[in-house]
Copies of this chain bind each other. A is one copy, B any other.
Amino acid sequence: MASLTDVARHAQVSIATVSRVINNSDKVVPETRDLVHKAMAELGFKPNRVARRLRQKGGFRHLLGLIIPDIQNPFFAEMARGVEDVAYAHKFAVMLCNSDEDMKKEEFYIDVLQSESVDGIILPPISERDGVVLKLVESGVPVVTVDRSLAHRSMDKVEVDNRRGAFEAVDHLIKLGHRRIGLIAGRLNVSTSRERRLGYDDAMAAHKLPVASEYIRGGDFKQASGRAMAEELLDLPSPPTALFVLNNLMTVGALEAIHRRKLKIPGDIAVIGFDDLPWAEALDPPLTVVRQPAYEVGQAATELLLKRLEDPKRAETHLKLLPKLVIRNSC
C-alpha cells in the first residue's frame, strides 16, 4: 500500500506538502495540489488511519466507541443504528462491542477502545455505580451515557423518561378496568428498572389502588426470565388480569408462557411491553407497547458526543426523550 512518502517521491514534492494537500490546508498553490492529487490517484493512495491517529494530538481521530449489552436486543440494535448513521454522516467510524452485562467484558472493551484512542465512547453503564465506567470518565475520555445513567455523576447523557412511560402504560390498564396488574421488572441496580417501577407505583397511587408485592417480580432482562416470571404470576391463586413487562426480551418470554397455557390475549390476560418491537404489528393480536425512541437516543448521544469534541468545555447536557404509548390490540 502506497504511503505518503511514495506519493511525495512520485509527485516530486516533500511529504509535508502531500500531508497539507490531504488535510486541504490552504497553504498550497493549485498547481502543486493538482500534481499531488494526480500522484495520489496514480498510486491509489489511502491515508493510513493508524499512523494518523498515533501522531495527531488535537483534531479528530474519526473513531467512536459504542459498548452495548447485546446487539441481538432490538432496542440496542436500533440505538446502534442511530449512532452509526450520525457517525457515518460525519465520516466517523464506530467500534461496536457487546458487554453482555458482564463487567469483565466491559472492562476489556473499554481498555481496547482507550488504547485505540477513540475520540469518545457511548455506553449504557452496567449498573448505576459501574466502577469501570466511572474510572473511564475520570480519566478524561469523553463519554456519553445512554438509556441508563451513572449515580452521582454529572455528564452528558441521553435518557428516556421511563417513569412517565411506565405511568402511562399502567394508567391505561387501570382505565380499562384492570386492578390486578402483574409487573415483570429487570435488575434493580439499573436506573431504568427502578424508574419504571416508580411509574407503576405512581399510576397505582393516582388511582388509589394498593400495590401488592406478590404481583411484582424481578427478572434479569432476558427472555427466559420473562417466561419464568410470567409463569409464576399466572400460577398465583388469584392471578393478574394484566401483565406489564419491563423490556422487550422478557415480553417475548411472557408471550411464550401465555401461549403455552392457551390463554387468549386480551380476553384472558392483557399485555403491555416496554420497548417496541419491529414485529409488534405482526403479532396476533398486535402488541400494545411503550415505545422508546431508541434510534433518536443513539442519534442524540452521538451528536452530543460530537459537540463535546468540538468544545470540551461546554456545559453538560442531559437529554430526556419521551416514550410513547402505542396502543394496539393486546389490552
A contact set with B: CB distance below 8 Å: 1, 46-51, 53-54, 70-72, 74, 77-78, 80-81, 84, 88, 93-98, 105, 108-109, 111-112, 114-117, 139, 223, 249, 252, 255-256, 259, 277-279, 281-286
A96 vs B96: C-alpha distance in the bound complex, in angstroms? 6
- Contact assessment for A72 and B255 in the assembled complex, using a CB-CB cutoff below 8 Å: no
Contacts of A256 in B (CB 8 A): 281-282
Contacts of A249 in B (CB 8 A): 278
- What 8 A-B pairs have minimum CB-CB distances, sorted nearest first? A255-B282, A284-B284, A49-B115, A96-B96, A93-B112, A72-B77, A252-B282, A252-B279
Of B53, B115, B278, B284, the contact of A283 (CB 8 Å cutoff): B284
As for how many copies of this chain the complex holds, the number is 2
Question: Given A49-B112, A50-B54, A279-B279, 15 more contacts at CB 8 Å?
Answer: A48-B115, A50-B50, A50-B115, A71-B80, A84-B97, A88-B105, A88-B108, A93-B112, A93-B116, A252-B282, A255-B282, A259-B281, A259-B282, A259-B286, A277-B279
CB distance from A104 to the nearest CB of B (A): 10
Contacts of A116 in B (CB 8 A): 49-50, 93
A54 vs B74: C-alpha distance in the bound complex, in angstroms? 36
- Contact assessment for B98 and A81 in the assembled complex, using a CB-CB cutoff below 8 Å: yes
CB distance from A70 to the nearest CB of B (A): 8
Of B48, B72, B81, the contact of A81 (CB 8 Å cutoff): B72
A78 vs B283: C-alpha distance in the bound complex, in angstroms? 21
- Contact assessment for A46 and B96 in the assembled complex, using a CB-CB cutoff below 8 Å: no
A15 vs B279: C-alpha distance in the bound complex, in angstroms? 57
Contacts of A117 in B (CB 8 A): 48, 50
CB distance from A280 to the nearest CB of B (A): 9
Can you sample 19 A-B contacts with CB below 8 Å? A1-B139, A48-B117, A49-B112, A72-B77, A72-B78, A74-B74, A88-B108, A93-B95, A93-B97, A93-B109, A94-B96, A249-B278, A252-B279, A255-B279, A255-B282, A279-B283, A282-B283, A283-B283, A284-B284
A77 vs B73: C-alpha distance in the bound complex, in angstroms? 9
Contacts of A277 in B (CB 8 A): 279
Residue of B nearest to A254 (CB): B282
- Contact assessment for B278 and A259 in the assembled complex, using a CB-CB cutoff below 8 Å: no
